[in-house]
């Protein structure tokens, strides 16, 4: 029986964007790692690990993952905060890593064994116009990706109007461009008409609205995109307006993916049990780790909803590996969002999942199979740039109203 002896937070990547939690045990060389990365509140997550959760962990039996999760979860009294869930998620994943190492098995074997031989991913294609986007999609299809996300430039692209061409007030704030729902709802169907015309209906395509639209515009867009048979439309609505998914369902068959902003089960459970979405997109660390996401995947299976765990560019290789282990074992798995890293970033995480030809491959090492080389992780930090938070992008409508990011 391994007892937890210590916990530390290792901050890495330029500007300290990533935090990896390392849990030590009293057994020589036995430790586990988990992702506590939070691009907007890194200090808050680290303080939660250090001040609230770590003192409760020392001396506990590391094998009691469920007991520890259930103990720590309400220990801050207020549940499911983004920071507390990320801290808890890191600890949960690190404990699964330890359990796998003790058992001499990869985590996906402990979770029931593989349902598939590798994890299919969707790529992020982009372009500033339809032709550029088409080229980008073709390149990813050529590489082997089974699904490709299609974006016109940055999130909201297709809906931006240069400020000097927009109908703005005379005292407008100084924005270079503004977001316009009607422009977006007009452009996106044209974009998919072009893509289907050039690529046919074989390629599986998605699009991420990133919550930019007013709810009614999201309903209209979903309906207008129906003829182009998307694999899914992502985040058509912000988490505050999920009841509108019912109206989308009543209007069209465009599959809906949602969930990267959810931290509380009450946010996503009704969407699954009422079959209002098709893909649940929790970020594993934000949802509290492997333990709760495994339960979510089981619930999804019962209701015919599939998982598509989120992997934004700010995620680290450890969170990706936790998602990969879940992807390997859950029958309700739908697709995995891709993420790739710089060569020197991969080097700091030996045993990382291997992305090849549109598929992610775990390895057979005991535990997560990924480690952190602390010296190399330290070298990823750019000391010329101070650690900082990265607030979500601030976009506005013509009159200055902020758009949900
Ligand atoms: Mg997204």
pLDDT reported for residue 312: 84
Q: What Å distances lie between residue 191 and 141, 165, 187, 315, CA to CA?
A: 18, 22, 6, 29
Predicted pLDDT of residue 129: 98
CA of 365 to the centre of ligand 1 (A): 31
Catalytic residue flag (residue 210) = yes
The active-site residue out of 140, 155, 279, 359 is 155
Distance 129 CA to ligand 1 centre (A): 20
CB 91 within 8 A of CB 57: yes
Categorize the per-residue pLDDT at 1 as very low, low, confident or very high, splitting at 50, 70 and 90: confident
Q: Which residue has the tokens 């990924």?
A: 370
- From the CB of residue 72, how many other CB atoms can be counted at a distance below 10 Å? 20
- The residues spanned by each domain of the chain are 110-368
Task: Calculate how far, in angstroms, residue 272's C-alpha sits from the geometric centre of ligand 1.
Answer: 18
CA of 352 to the centre of ligand 1 (A): 23
Instruction: Give me the helices (H) in 17-78, please.
Output: 42-47, 54-57, 65-72
Q: Which residues surround ligand 1, an ion (CB under 5 A)?
A: 208
Q: H/E element holding 5?
A: strand 4-12
Kindly report, residue by residue over 58-82, the tens digit of the pLDDT. 999 999 999 999 999 999 999 999 9
d(CA 341, ligand 1 centre) in Å: 18
Would you say 158 and 126 are in contact if contact means Cβ atoms under 8 Å apart?
no
- Torsion sign (Cα): 209, 211, 213, 216: positive
Using the predicted structure, report yes or no on whether residue 353 has a pLDDT greater than 90: yes
Are the beta carbons of 21 and 89 closer than 8 angstroms?
no
Whether 12 shows a pLDDT value over 90: the answer reads yes
HSE (side-chain half, CA atoms, 13 Å) at 65: 22
Residue 122 annotated in active site: no
Q: pTM of the full predicted structure?
A: 0.97
Fold annotation for 110-368: TIM Barrel (3.20.20)
At 239-277, the pLDDT tens digits run: 999 999 999 999 999 999 999 999 998 899 999 999 999
The rounded Å distance from CA 295 to ligand 1 centre is 22
Residue 362's CB: how many other CB atoms inside 10 A?
Answer: 23
Locate tokens 């937890």: which residue?
Answer: 4
């Amino acid at each position: 029986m391994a007892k937890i002896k210590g916990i530390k937070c290792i901050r890495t990547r330029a500007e300290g964007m990533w935090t990896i939690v390392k849990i030590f045990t009293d057994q020589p060389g036995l430790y586990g790692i988990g992702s506590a990365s939070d691009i907007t509140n890194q200090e808050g997550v680290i303080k939660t690990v250090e001040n609230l959760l770590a003192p409760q962990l020392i001396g506990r039996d590391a094998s009691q993952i469920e007991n520890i999760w259930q103990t720590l979860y309400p220990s801050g009294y207020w549940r499911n905060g983004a920071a507390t869930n990320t801290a808890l998620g890191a600890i949960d994943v690190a404990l699964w890593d330890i359990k796998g190492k003790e058992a001499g098995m990869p985590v996906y074997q402990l979770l029931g064994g593989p349902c598939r031989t590798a994890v299919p991913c969707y790529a992020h294609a982009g372009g500033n116009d339809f032709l550029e986007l088409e080229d980008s999609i073709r390149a990813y299809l050529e590489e082997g990706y089974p699904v490709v996300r299609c974006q016109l430039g940055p999130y909201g692209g297709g809906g931006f109007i240069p400020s000097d061409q927009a109908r703005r007030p005379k005292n407008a704030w100084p924005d270079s461009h503004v977001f316009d729902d009607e422009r977006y709802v007009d452009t996106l169907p044209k974009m998919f008409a072009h893509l289907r015309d050039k690529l046919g209906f074989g390629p599986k395509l998605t699009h991420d609205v990133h919550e930019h639209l007013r709810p009614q515009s999201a309903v209209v867009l979903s309906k207008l995109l129906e003829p182009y048979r998307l694999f899914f439309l992502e985040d058509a609505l912000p988490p505050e307006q999920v009841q509108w998914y019912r109206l989308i369902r009543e209007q069209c068959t465009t599959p809906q993916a949602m969930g990267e902003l959810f931290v509380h089960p009450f946010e996503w459970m009704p969407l699954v049990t009422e079959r209002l979405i098709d893909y649940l997109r929790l970020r594993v660390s934000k949802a509290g780790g492997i333990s709760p996401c495994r339960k979510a995947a089981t619930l999804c299976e019962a209701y015919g909803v599939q998982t598509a765990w989120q992997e934004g560019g700010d995620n680290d290789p450890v969170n990706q590996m936790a998602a990969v282990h879940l992807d390997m074992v859950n029958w309700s798995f739908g697709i995995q969002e891709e993420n790739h890293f710089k060569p020197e970033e991969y080097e700091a995480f030996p045993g990382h999942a291997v992305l090849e030809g549109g598929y992610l491959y775990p390895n057979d090492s005991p535990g997560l199979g990924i480690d952190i080389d602390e010296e190399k992780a330290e070298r990823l930090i750019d000391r010329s740039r101070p650690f900082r938070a990265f607030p979500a992008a601030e976009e506005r409508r013509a009159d200055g109203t902020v758009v949900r990011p």
